[in-house]
Amino acid sequence: MNYCTLEDVKGHIPDARLVEITDDTHPNSSGTIQSDIVEKAIVESSNLIDAYIGKRFKLPLPSVPSVLNSICVDLTIYNLYERVTEMNVTDGMQLRYKNALSLLKGIAEGDISIGIVPEEGVTENGFKVASNGGEAMFSMKSMRF
């Protein structure tokens, strides 16, 4: 499942800039947005999102939450700029990329809601240790002979 579209990306980046970062197959450049390159970046970004949220939610999701759409747009723009070595990734893009990854971590850990309740059957790996606040069952004091 893709979490954004070319139209979503176009809403955040001018068409002229999209041409600049996608139509780089010189000397055969056409002066148009290469939608296949944008689509590849969207798929890569969506796969990364799935890798994070698949731990918590059954995939594919029934719909695309707006927060995942925004994250996918940010990751896609970053990926498009990064693929063209002569184009510099700005500090703002770098920050948006890091924030997107941070949000994905929060979603995966259950600290951030995307408005969808995790379905049964999806379990977390590992375990958690809980404390009732009392004295530890196995402490240095209780284990002395």
pLDDT in tens, the chain (145 residues): 999 999 999 999 999 999 989 987 666 678 899 999 999 999 999 999 999 999 899 999 999 999 999 999 999 999 999 988 666 788 889 999 999 999 999 999 999 999 998 865 444 555 455 555 556 656 666 666 5
pLDDT of residue 122: 47
Structure-token pair, residue 105: 């971590």
Angle between helices 66-83 and 15-22 (to 10 degrees): 50
**DSSP classification of residue 34:** -
Task: Give the Cα separation of 90 and 82 in Å (integer).
Answer: 10
Residue 121's pLDDT is 44
How far is C-alpha 132 from the chain's CA centre?
A: 36
Q: Using alpha carbons only, what angle is made at residue 26 by residues 38 and 10, rounded to the nearest 5 degrees? A: 25
Q: Contact, 49 vs 71, CB < 8 A?
A: yes
Q: Is 4 helix (H, G, I), strand (E, B) or coil?
A: coil
